[in-house]
Amino acid sequence: MAAGEKIYIADKETLDKVYNILNTEPVYGFIEHNAILSPSGGRIEYIGANKDYEPITVTMGGGYSLKSWADFPLLKANKPYMVHADGTPDYRLKEDDYTKKEDGTASDIANTNYNGGAFSWLMKIYKKEYMAGDDRYVLFRFEEADGFEPVGFRDTDNKVLEGVWLPMFYGSIVSDKMRSTSGLQPDHSKTTDAQKKAIDAFGGRARFLGGPIVETIIDLLIMFAKTTELQTAYGCGNMSGYDASLSPTYGVKQNNVVGGGQFYGTSDGKSLNKIFHSIVLGSYQQWMRDPYEIVVNGRVRVSKNYAYDVTGASYADTGINVENRPGGNGWDYPHKYQTVPGYGAVPVAPYNGSTSTGGCDGLYRHESQKTITAVARRFGACRYGRSGGPRARNWYNTAAFAPWDIGAAILLLPPVGVAA
């Protein structure tokens, strides 16, 4: 197939007619044309209710415009809160100054004695994702329908949630408990099990930020910006802030309040950025451990409901094999992503992209992938530059690996039926 060539045109035209009929529902979505490497040159095609939408724009250094997406319910509902450890909301924070409650009085944003933490609300959305040849179709809607699943919005008992709480800050361990508050240095140099223990100490509804919700978030970001070059669209974060003199964390910045509301992006490569009020999603300064994606002897296995098993034995088999990497450990750059129902998109070989083409973010893998059990990591770290980003993955190390550039963050699940 020639570069840029589309496939199944007749099928797509038929499906577009269906989507136009469903616009009253409505259904939103896009096609990721994996065969097109240019991230904004036709790789992402809008379909459904947003077929003629203008993508959102984030101004580097402050400001953003939601444009056609201004009334999208998920974006309107995405607000910052202080949340109790049991997953119930306490109170809203001012969107442009988290040090204050909505009424202007002081918040608990930096209170390490607060029984809970700072989180932003991501409301439930249903997703349908499938492949047609090399094309990946992604559809979203807010009401349940045949073929649509609440991907990322199921708890470990497989009960559907009204939304999830995203961490506004990197996880920091205080008195053996993982926190999500301002003013603390992100956790580092802990094993996966040690991080799990600290997250469990936060509360019974706390999980690692990872797994299917990250895949849903990535697809939402692609859809809103109409590109796979998400660092250019939303900001580069602290992707290049490494400084050998700043032992022991070498440039990983302290959790701090960043102004500007829902999104804040910069292009200097050394600043904290925000996506959905979360510096974890926008800053790329530290790998986030994701034990819900395990590569076992070269086979990708996933947890679809935040069950924890670092052997991967109890996880769903994706059917995706990861080959050993000729020439040693290192970065590859995916251009093709394979749908895993109920989970999301997983990169598959061959890897013909780059930091600015295809998926635009890197995949770091092991030279002997078939001989290890690797626990995935997300987003990159402050020494990897453009190789990091929302889609960046690392399939290199076991659960016990614990250097300075690996941390964790809390995904907090509300009780069933509770919404913000």
Amino acid at 256: N
Q: Closest by alpha carbon to 384, among 252, 280, 191?
A: 252
User: For position 11, what pLDDT does the model report?
Assistant: 55
Residue 315, classed as helix, strand or coil, is coil
Under 8 Å between Cβ of 3 and 36: yes
d(CA 234, CA 55): 12
The CA dihedral of 164, 168, 172, 176, to the nearest 10 degrees, is: -30
DSSP bridge partners of 317: 301
Q: What percent of the chain is modeled with pLDDT above 90? A: 93
Under 8 Å between Cβ of 181 and 255: yes
Q: What angle do CA 207, 208, 213 make, to 5 degrees?
A: 90
pLDDT reading at 30 higher than 60: yes
d(CA 329, CA 145): 43
CB atoms inside a 10 Å sphere around CB 265: 25
d(CA 150, CA 127): 6
Q: What angle do CA 366, 371, 375 make, to 5 degrees?
A: 60
- Provide the token pair at 219: 């697809």
Kindly report, residue by residue over 237-292, the tens digit of the pLDDT: 999 999 999 999 999 999 999 999 999 999 999 999 999 999 999 999 999 999 99
User: For position 20, what pLDDT does the model report?
Assistant: 52
d(CA 161, CA 151): 10
pLDDT reading at 9 higher than 50: no
d(CA 299, CA 369): 9
Amino acid at 268: D
User: For position 24, what pLDDT does the model report?
Assistant: 66
User: For position 7, what pLDDT does the model report?
Assistant: 37
Kindly report, residue by residue over 85-123, the tens digit of the pLDDT: 999 999 999 999 999 999 999 999 999 999 999 999 999
**Which pTM was predicted?**
0.94
Kindly report, residue by residue over 203-212, the tens digit of the pLDDT: 999 999 999 9
pLDDT reading at 4 higher than 60: no
pLDDT reading at 2 higher than 50: no
- Tell me the pLDDT band of 78, cut-offs 50, 70 and 90: very high
SS (H, E, C) 275-312: ECCEHHHHHCCCEEEEEEEEEECCEEEECCCCCCCCCC
Q: Alpha helix (H) ranges present in 129-225?
A: 192-202, 212-225
User: For position 16, what pLDDT does the model report?
Assistant: 54
20-24, 69-73, 162-166, 275-279: least confidently modelled range:
20-24
Under 8 Å between Cβ of 43 and 37: yes
Residue 205 makes CB contacts below 8 A (sequence gap 6+) with 85, 86, 87, 155, 412, 413, 414, 415
Question: What's the burial of 65, exposed, middle or buried (CB within 10 Å: 0-12/13-18/19+)?
Answer: middle
- Tell me the pLDDT band of 10, cut-offs 50, 70 and 90: very low
pLDDT reading at 84 higher than 80: yes
| Extended strands (E) in 163-209 | 163-167, 172-174, 177-179, 206-208
User: For position 25, what pLDDT does the model report?
Assistant: 80
- Tell me the pLDDT band of 21, cut-offs 50, 70 and 90: very low
DSSP bridge partners of 179: 172
For the chain, the C-alpha Rg in angstroms (whole number) is 20
